[in-house]
Amino acid sequence: MRSYEEFAREREEQNRLVLESADRVTKRFFSLDALTYRDGALPAATKELLGLVASLVLRCDDCVAYHLGRCRDLGHTGEEVSEALGVAMVVGGSITIPHVRRAVALWGELTEKASELEEREER
């Protein structure tokens, strides 16, 4: 399993490549996706949890990684993410378990790095 940093770099580069040659439909879809996760009647943080659950049910590890990163950025706790993973398993069934395992490992990586950064900033 690749690290979150590797995933994020690869995603950014691939998005750049797609958008360089994208037609209007692709550009609009990318824009719609970005608009969807902004604050609205539901806060952006809630929408990221919804995205995380949907991604787990659909078994898209790249999407899971993206939403976990956003959940971390938006201040979700491990307990909140854990409950979302539980919802995903109930909705998606046992086939989601390997994806939940990877999500838990990745959340650990994300929160460990966040703790290290906080410790450095305190010094």
Query: For position 28, what pLDDT does the model report?
Result: 96
Residues 6+ apart with CB under 8 A from 24: none
> Lowest-pLDDT range, 47-56, 85-94, 110-119?
110-119
Say if residue 105's pLDDT is above 80: yes
Domain boundaries, the chain: 4-122
Query: For position 56, what pLDDT does the model report?
Result: 98
Q: CATH number of the domain at 4-122, please? A: 1.20.1290.10
Q: Nearest to residue 61, comparing CAs of 26, 18, 22, 11?
A: 11
Is the CA virtual torsion 50, 56, 78, 103 positive or negative? negative
Q: What is the pLDDT of residues 67-81, one digit of tens each?
A: 999 999 999 999 999
Q: What is the pLDDT of residues 114-123, one digit of tens each?
A: 676 666 677 6
